[in-house]
Amino acid sequence: SPIVVWFRDDLRLDDNPALAAAVGEGRPVVALYVLDESKDGPRALGGASRWWLNLSLKALARDLDKIGVPLVLRKGPAVKTVPAVLSEAGAGNIVWNRRYDAPGIAIDKELKSSLREDGFVAESFNGALLAEPWDVLNGEGLPYRVFSPFFRAMNARGAPAQPQDFKAPSERLPEAPSLEGEEIDDLLPLPSRPDWAGGLRDTWTPGEAGARKRLEAFLDDRLCRYAAQRDMPGEDATSLLSPHLRFGEISPRRIWYAAGDRTAAQDEISDKQLDKFRSELGWREFSYHLLFHFPDIGHANFQPRFDDFPWRKDKKQFRIWTKGQTGYPLVDAGMRELWHTGYMHNRVRMVVASFLIKHLMIDWREGEAWFWDTLVDADPANNTASWQWVAGSGADAAPYFRIFNPTSQGEKFDPDGTYVRRWVPELAEMPASHIYKPHEAPREMLEKAGVRLGDTYPRPMVEHAKARQRALDAFQTIKNAS
């Protein structure tokens, strides 16, 4: 009888343990994707993620078709849809790769036990992580709350499992039963009026082939300078693999080993570059470790004292932030990069998040939700863990009182202003000396650069020193609470 492979955040053929297990049997295989938007389902996807998923599913359907596996799309709830598909297909087995968010785990557990009770064989695999969260525990058998000991412990367990190449079946698989399904464009319509996705299309190629291209480009040109330049948004030194990882179009094991092999093969790539890059993959693991062991981190402060923080409600200021009109060039460049491409450089993410939380004193959850809607890599683990990290409310977080100065951050990490010139064209003609502080520039300089403050480019919406003090004072009110 046929085997069903239930695809979720693992939209690839390569190093996909569930798919490999199914195809290896030589029986008919049906691939299934369920968009579960029910109340108890995983968090509803944001707009940019839905755009990505549409194209990624199309790419997956094409790749699966080449090996004779149809991809069937259905609407959830998964707890109902999955058993229905199994019975329609006359299938006795189902396989999937695990997920780690609480609603996803609850659904998978329920399904596994009910399917097994009904006589089906249901098996799950690790397709998403270098190490399972329950395998990396401290001496007392507890989860880690601090990154460094977590990463040491992860590495002390030995090297991650080797990625497995996809082995196409030697003979065409027996024909799978044909099942009804939704059309991708009906299930996840692409934006049309307005079509806001032009910048996304120009920037990304969702799907497994696009992921492999990004990996190769990173290994060829960026890994050799990663440690020195990963913090510099004007240098284009990072891998841009995050949305591909988010949707599982490439596995972290594949990336981990490809970077290791390239470092061994190429003299100009030092171990320092490799170690730095692998430790960033380690941060992703740590976020998943936290999400698994502390499932509330998506909505609740990891440190409960932040529950009493005097957040400000200010729709108008929030909107100015989302539009990239704050008057702080690094913040504005980042927010516009996000809107245009669905991505933002990591250093800039830290600065814009800090600005919202500290300079504007707006709850980190509002910023997190905006990122969730607009990022193509919006990730249930990384997004919440990172926002809480910046807020100071998280596990192993930056202390709240560390308040980024958006001007000096720009001067330090983008000294010639390349990044700002790219995203804030109205400042493109400003000399580097003042591109991060146009409000302090002499009048003649502004005139020469064609900048009219308050007209072509806004004045700072809050004054840094005052805003900083206000945030510190607010923090005092919760500082000593447990």
Taking the complex as a whole, how short is the minimal distance between the CB of residue 151 and ligand FAD, in angstroms? 12
Per the annotation, does 379 bind a ligand? yes
Give the nearer residue to ligand FAD in terms of CB position, either 43 or 75: 43
69 is a site residue for ligand FAD (CB under 6 A): no
Any catalytic annotation for residue 256? Answer: no
Per the annotation, does 377 bind a ligand? yes
- Contacting ligand FAD within 227-266 (CB under 6 A): 230, 238-242, 245-246
Among 86, 200, 232, 353, interactor with ligand FAD by CB under 6 A: 353
Per the annotation, does 129 bind a ligand? no
Of 37, 132, 182, 283, the catalytic one is 283
375 is a site residue for ligand FAD (CB under 6 A): yes
Give the nearer residue to ligand FAD in terms of CB position, either 360 or 378: 378
| SS3 category, 112 | helix
Of 387, 389, 411, 423, the catalytic one is 387
359 is a site residue for ligand FAD (CB under 6 A): no
Applying CB under 6 A, the site for ligand FAD has a residue count of 27
Q: Can you read off the two tokens belonging to residue 305?
A: 């004292």
Per the annotation, does 328 bind a ligand? no
Cβ proximity of 368 and 383 under 8 Å: yes
The C-alpha atoms of residue 482 and residue 480 are separated, in whole angstroms, by 6
Report which DSSP code applies to 437.
-
Among 229, 346, 445, 470, interactor with ligand FAD by CB under 6 A: 346
| SS3 category, 368 | helix
Give the nearer residue to ligand FAD in terms of CB position, either 236 or 429: 236
Residue type, 2: P
Among 108, 366, 377, 411, interactor with ligand FAD by CB under 6 A: 377
Report which DSSP code applies to 7.
E
The C-alpha atoms of residue 191 and residue 455 are separated, in whole angstroms, by 32
Report which DSSP code applies to 43.
P
The C-alpha atoms of residue 283 and residue 146 are separated, in whole angstroms, by 11
Contact range with ligand FAD by CB under 6 A, out of 78-86, 90-98, 133-141, 375-383: 375-383
Q: How buried is 472 (Cβ within 10 angstroms: 0-12 exposed, 13-18 middle, 19+ buried)?
A: middle
Among 166, 196, 283, 311, interactor with ligand FAD by CB under 6 A: 283
Q: Can you read off the two tokens belonging to residue 385?
A: 């863990």
Cβ proximity of 169 and 17 under 8 Å: no
Cβ proximity of 238 and 344 under 8 Å: no
The C-alpha atoms of residue 18 and residue 123 are separated, in whole angstroms, by 8
Any catalytic annotation for residue 16? Answer: no
Contact range with ligand FAD by CB under 6 A, out of 39-47, 139-147, 377-385, 467-475: 377-385
Per the annotation, does 240 bind a ligand? yes
280 is a site residue for ligand FAD (CB under 6 A): yes
Contact range with ligand FAD by CB under 6 A, out of 167-175, 202-210, 385-393, 411-419: 385-393
Taking the complex as a whole, how short is the minimal distance between the CB of residue 368 and ligand FAD, in angstroms? 8
| Residues with Cβ within 8 Å of residue 5, at least 6 apart in sequence | 18, 19, 22, 29, 30, 31, 32, 69, 94, 95, 96
Among 86, 184, 281, 297, interactor with ligand FAD by CB under 6 A: 281
Any catalytic annotation for residue 280? Answer: yes
341 is a site residue for ligand FAD (CB under 6 A): no
Residue whose token pair is 């930056």: 398
Strands 71-75 and 3-7, sheet pairing:
unpaired
Any catalytic annotation for residue 6? Answer: no
Q: Can you read off the two tokens belonging to residue 50?
A: 């839905």
The C-alpha atoms of residue 311 and residue 35 are separated, in whole angstroms, by 35
Of 364, 370, 389, 423, the catalytic one is 364
Any catalytic annotation for residue 387? Answer: yes
Taking the complex as a whole, how short is the minimal distance between the CB of residue 345 and ligand FAD, in angstroms? 6
Q: How buried is 346 (Cβ within 10 angstroms: 0-12 exposed, 13-18 middle, 19+ buried)?
A: middle
Please state the residue numbers annotated as binding site for FAD.
Answer: 226, 238-242, 277, 377-379
Question: Which active-site residues does the annotation give?
Answer: 280, 283, 311, 346, 364, 387
User: Which residue ranges make up the site for ligand FAD (CB under 6 A)?
Assistant: 230, 238-242, 245-246, 280-281, 283-284, 287, 346, 349-350, 353, 371, 375, 377-379, 382-383, 386-387, 390
